[in-house]
Amino acid sequence: MAKKLMKGSEAIGEAAVQAGCRLFFGYPITPQNEIPEYMSLRLPQVGGCFVQAESEVAASNMLYGAAGTGERVMTSSSSPGISLMSEAVSYLAGAELPVVIVNIVRAGPGLGGILPSQGDYFQATRGMGHGDFRLLVLAPWSVQEAADLVQDAFDLADFYRNPVMVLGDGLIGQMMEPVEFRSDRQPIKELQPKTWAATGCPGDRPTNIINSLFLDPEELERHNWKLKAKYDAMARDEIRSAVYAADDDYDVLIVAYGTVARVCSTAIDELRERGVRVAMVRPITLFPFPYQAIRDAALRASSVLVVELSTGQMIEDVRLALEGARPIHFHSRVGGMLVTPDEVIEKVDRILAGGAAEVSHG
């Protein structure tokens, strides 16, 4: 299929359709409305169904019901709406239902603002709801990668029977870039028939029950360890990261994800032109986090710079990765303000001149 210029939100919607998603449940919230709007027009064209729910609470439970039939289903929202979905996401994880959730993150806390942010990193990577569970979290840095990751997300959700979140921000949703959908795309995992789905109980087969209730603590403990084994398998098999300008030697390693990494790549290009030796490692999976890749890349540098649109969330994982092996610097903008390439350049210059303090807080 030829490349097509698409807005990020539309590419995310089309990617879901290409991946076989036929059901979308959502509720309006800025800045992600283009995704449900796209799906409301597109899904009926392919025999699917779009429902505008009465709330994110209802949308996420519609997602639960539809996923329980074995169909491929998706919702999208933005930070406050994702908070409302966190109840259902816990149930989805407990009942082991495969769904794809897109969070176009806006600045918070509370109502916050409607401009881009990475303030939901903790929420996405630390379980997101009550109980002991994880989401698989994917963070694209381009419209093409958003489209690719959404399609992969459906395969990963089905394979692990677990919710998968695509974590973007308003920049990803709004920017237009060429996108290519490959017609010969194959699933990235070997997928089994969904024999667990509740679709009516023929003959004498035991009933299929979609459920997260385990009143017997021994049974629930077994269930908890079974879920943990899935998260361990994700950490073993699904970690993704990319490096930028790391072929040559470097003194400073930038760690950034999503659209911030995009900004940093522009800064790195300009710094390299001046002969400044700087490179980047970019987590693509936020859970499982690429601890080893970041550590390996950092050990080639003399110092590390974490750049993110929060007051310091991913930096905690970078600290875990480095375990004190290298000094860590931090640069961020929050509240919907964006990091600029010039800010990153100035920060790198200061680090190399010895004038930048290491972070003393997480």
Partner 1 sequence: MAETVFSRPGALAPVITHYCPGCTHGIIHRLIAEVIDELGIRERTVGISPVGCAVLAYNYFTVDFQEASHGRAPAVATGIKRARPDLIVFTYQGDGDLASIGMAEIVHCANRGEKVTVVFVNNAIYGMTGGQMAPTTLPGQIATTCPLGRDVEQAGHPIRIAELLSTLRTPSFVARAAVHTPLHAVNAKEMLRRAFRYQVAGTCFSLVEVLSTCPTNWGVPPVEANRWLAQNMMPFYPLGVFKTPDGADRAPTPGAGD
Residues that bind partner 1 in the complex, under the rule CB under 8 A = 22-23, 25, 49, 51, 53-55, 57-59, 61-69, 71, 73, 87-88, 91, 95, 198-203, 207-213
Q: What is the DSSP letter of 255?
A: E
Q: Which is nearer to partner 1, 49 or 239 (by Cβ)?
A: 49
Nearest-angstrom CA–CA distance, 51 and 73: 12
Choose between 193 and 200: whose C-beta lies nearer to partner 1. 200
Q: How far is the CB of 353 from partner 1 (least distance, A)?
A: 55
Report the nearest approach of partner 1 to the CB of residue 75 (Å). Answer: 10
Please tell me the distance from the alpha carbon of residue 145 to that of residue 159, in angstroms, as a whole number: 20
Nearer to partner 1, 93 or 146 (CB): 93
Q: How far is the CB of 195 from partner 1 (least distance, A)?
A: 12
Distance of CA 103 to the CA centre of its chain: 8
Q: Which of 300, 353, 356 is nearest to 328 (CA)?
A: 356
How far apart are CB 60 and partner 1 at their closest, in Å?
8
Please state the closest distance from residue 66 (CB atom) to partner 1, in A. Answer: 4
Q: How far is the CB of 39 from partner 1 (least distance, A)?
A: 13
Q: Which is nearer to partner 1, 212 or 302 (CB)?
A: 212
| Tokens describing residue 232 | 């361990």
Task: Please identify, using beta-carbon distances, which residue of 71 and 251 lies nearer to partner 1.
Answer: 71
Sign for the pseudo-dihedral over CA of 231, 235, 240, 241: positive
- Name 264's Cβ contacts closer than 8 Å, sequence gap at least 6: 244, 254, 256, 280, 307, 339, 341, 344
Of 47 and 109, nearer to partner 1 (C-beta) is 47
- Report the sign of the C-alpha dihedral through residues 303, 307, 312, 316, in that order: negative
The residue among 183 and 207 lying less far from partner 1, judged by its C-beta, is 207
Of 233, 256, 239, 327, nearest to 290 (Cα)?
239
Q: 181 near 13, Cβ under 8 Å?
A: no
Return the closest-CA partner of residue 134 out of 231, 246, 233: 231
Q: What's the DSSP call for residue 282?
A: E
Q: CA-based Rg of the chain, rounded to a whole angstrom?
A: 21
Q: Which lies closer to partner 1 via its Cβ, residue 61 or residue 285?
A: 61
**In the complex, minimum distance from the CB of residue 61 to partner 1, in angstroms, rounded to a whole number:** 4
Residue 73, phi then psi, degrees to nearest 5:
-135, 155
Rank residues 25 and 121 by Cβ distance to partner 1 and give the closer one.
25
Q: How far is the CB of 40 from partner 1 (least distance, A)?
A: 13
- How many residues are present in the chain? 362
Q: Smallest distance from the beta carbon of 91 to partner 1, in angstroms?
A: 5
Q: Which residues contact 76 (CB under 8 A, 6 or more apart)?
A: 12, 24, 26, 32, 35, 36, 101, 102, 103, 104
